[in-house]
């Protein structure tokens, strides 16, 4: 274990002398998830992650509440359209965070801390290289993008402004998302949670000030979110550098060494995560044909979901670090236990939350001053659709398991299959037969089917590797272009590769 006072640790990060390293107060954590109860690790990571994630999404929900108080239905619809576009952009950051945290977790599990530092540093540099040109291009094409999603007239203008302000900070967002995932990997779940909470507080304080105090309206809501991203990114980088020493001095040679494995892991992860916003964009476009009221209702439910089911999102973020370290240590029995324990948590969390939403549907409708069609859609979501998360949540824990097992292509197949072969036809048919309610039902049914299938495949994948066979479920799956094999870290189980 490299400590904060050893010269090799300081040289790898700052090049300072051992005396200078006294300011580094905390060492990078070791492979903390390869021992101890799996359930406790998942609960600790999930709880801290859920609180952090939930706080940010709660601020987003309050943000939408403030926007609704402005009394212009087009504003809520504009947020819905812009949110679908922003989902595409954030998916790049999420995909990179999956790749970086997986490889760093495996390196820690194999007791290769110097490699972990350089992987983290290279991953952040890669994030800048990806997000700067992406942000620039999306700003130029913002109007066609929002139009493609179904926005028009004044709603289009509002959506474009909101999208441009927020998406200009995409390079900042990549530091926030990748950085907080790295903190969870090294066992600093509480630090990650606290930083995210601070970001939520910044947003919550600035929201009413910018929206009402400065009379900036929708622009103020976007600028408050940008300020929140900046605070999270700054605090995260400080913690990684000064407290946990997970950032090394950039080296061209080490970047070249790690860029290949990162790209191999991030490629399918990007395809995986782009499938979700692509499906969401299709759903938004289907909702758009039923008017701004339907899109506004979808915007409300889209903000309610991550708040209500923050525990599932937190659980998804906890499976990756735990599974990755145990894969790196060769403990596939603990990887299996991680998946099964997480599945029990999905049901025990999603069911009571869905029941609570069903009971509170009237309160939610009143709070957002929804009427007629919009109220009917939100009620349908709370009373019926929310229960689908008991099954769709299984995919939240299966995808990080695939990545931890060095098979990110399985996640790609799962998400693309869900959004292309299940969501598209079911949503299209639902819209044609049952209107906007059918859109919601089709999306929920697709997600539920995908959850059950993904979980079944994940269990089988772990068993195959544990039995010492090739880690593919069938010959066609092994040959698909989405399945990328890469050199695995020392210490990992390599049977079948």
Could you tell me which of 396, 289, 294 has the C-alpha nearest to residue 345?
A: 396
Task: Quickly tell me which residue has 């130029």 as its tokens.
Answer: 140
Residue 476: predicted pLDDT: 35
pLDDT at 250 over 90: no
For range 444-472, the mean pLDDT: 86
pLDDT at 55 over 60: yes
What is this structure's pTM?
Answer: 0.69
Could you tell me which of 311, 273, 310, 353 has the C-alpha nearest to residue 56?
A: 310
Q: How far apart are CA 128 and CA 265, in angstroms?
A: 17
Nearest-5° Cα angle at 74, 68 to 75? 45
How confident is the model over 88-108, as pLDDT tens digits? 888 788 888 888 988 898 888
Whether the CB-CB separation of 200 and 254 falls below 8 Å is answered with no
Nearest-5° Cα angle at 108, 102 to 113? 120
Provide the pLDDT confidence category of residue 458 given band limits of 50, 70 and 90: very high
Residue 470: predicted pLDDT: 52
Task: Quickly tell me which residue has 């905390």 as its tokens.
Answer: 26
Whether the CB-CB separation of 393 and 312 falls below 8 Å is answered with yes
Query: Could you give the count of Cα atoms lying within 13 Å of 119 in the half-sphere of its Cβ?
Result: 27
Residue 91: predicted pLDDT: 79
How confident is the model over 7-18, as pLDDT tens digits? 333 333 333 333
Distances (CA, A) of 387 to 263, 393, 441, 459: 37, 10, 11, 23
For range 346-363, the mean pLDDT: 94
Residue 90: predicted pLDDT: 82
């Amino acid at each position: 274990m490299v400590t904060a006072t050893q010269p090799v640790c300081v040289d790898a990060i700052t090049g300072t002398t051992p005396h200078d390293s006294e300011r580094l107060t905390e060492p990078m954590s070791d492979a903390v998830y390869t021992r101890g109860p799996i359930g406790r690790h998942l609960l600790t990571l999930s709880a801290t992650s859920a609180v952090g994630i939930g706080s940010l999404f709660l601020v987003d929900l309050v943000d939408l509440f403030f926007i609704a108080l402005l009394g212009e239905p087009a504003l809520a619809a504009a947020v819905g359209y812009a949110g679908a576009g922003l989902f595409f952009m954030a998916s790049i950051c999420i995909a990179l965070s999956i790749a970086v945290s997986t490889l760093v977790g495996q390196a820690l599990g194999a007791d290769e801390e110097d490699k972990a530092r350089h992987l983290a540093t290279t991953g952040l540099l890669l994030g800048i290289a990806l997000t700067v040109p992406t942000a620039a291009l999306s700003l130029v094409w913002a109007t066609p993008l929002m139009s493609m999603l179904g926005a028009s007239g004044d709603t289009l203008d509002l959506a474009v402004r909101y999208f441009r302000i927020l998406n200009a900070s995409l390079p900042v967002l990549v530091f926030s998302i990748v950085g907080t995932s790295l903190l969870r990997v090294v066992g600093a779940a509480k630090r990650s949670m606290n930083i995210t909470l601070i970001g939520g507080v910044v947003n919550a304080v600035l929201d009413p000030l910018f929206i009402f105090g400065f009379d900036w309206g929708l622009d103020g809501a976007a600028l408050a979110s940008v300020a929140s991203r900046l605070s999270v990114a700054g605090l995260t980088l400080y913690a990684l550098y000064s407290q946990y020493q997970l950032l090394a001095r950039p080296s061209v040679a080490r970047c070249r060494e790690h860029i290949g494995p990162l790209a191999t892991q991030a490629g399918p992860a990007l395809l995986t995560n782009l499938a979700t916003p692509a499906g969401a964009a299709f759903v938004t476009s289907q909702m758009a044909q039923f008017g701004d009221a339907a899109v506004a209702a979808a915007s409300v439910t889209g903000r309610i979901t991550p708040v209500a089911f923050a525990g599932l999102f937190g659980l998804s973020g906890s499976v990756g670090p735990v599974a990755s370290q145990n894969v790196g240590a060769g403990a596939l029995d603990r990887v299996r236990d991680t998946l099964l324990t997480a599945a029990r948590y999905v049901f025990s969390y999603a069911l009571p939350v869905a029941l609570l939403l069903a009971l509170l549907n009237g309160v939610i409708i009143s709070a957002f001053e929804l009427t007629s069609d919009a109220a009917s859609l939100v009620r349908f979501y709370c009373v019926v659709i929310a229960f689908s998360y008991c099954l769709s949540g299984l995919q939240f824990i299966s995808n990080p398991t695939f990545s931890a097992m060095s098979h990110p292509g399985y996640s790609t197949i799962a998400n693309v299959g869900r959004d292309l072969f299940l969501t598209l036809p079911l949503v299209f048919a639902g819209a044609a037969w049952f209107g906007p309610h059918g859109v919601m039902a089709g999306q929920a049914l697709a997600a539920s089917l995908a959850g059950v299938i993904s979980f079944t495949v994940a269990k089988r994948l772990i068993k195959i590797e544990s039995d010492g066979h090739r880690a593919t479920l069938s010959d066609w799956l092994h040959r698909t272009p989405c399945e990328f094999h890469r050199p695995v870290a020392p210490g990992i189980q390599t049977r079948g590769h």
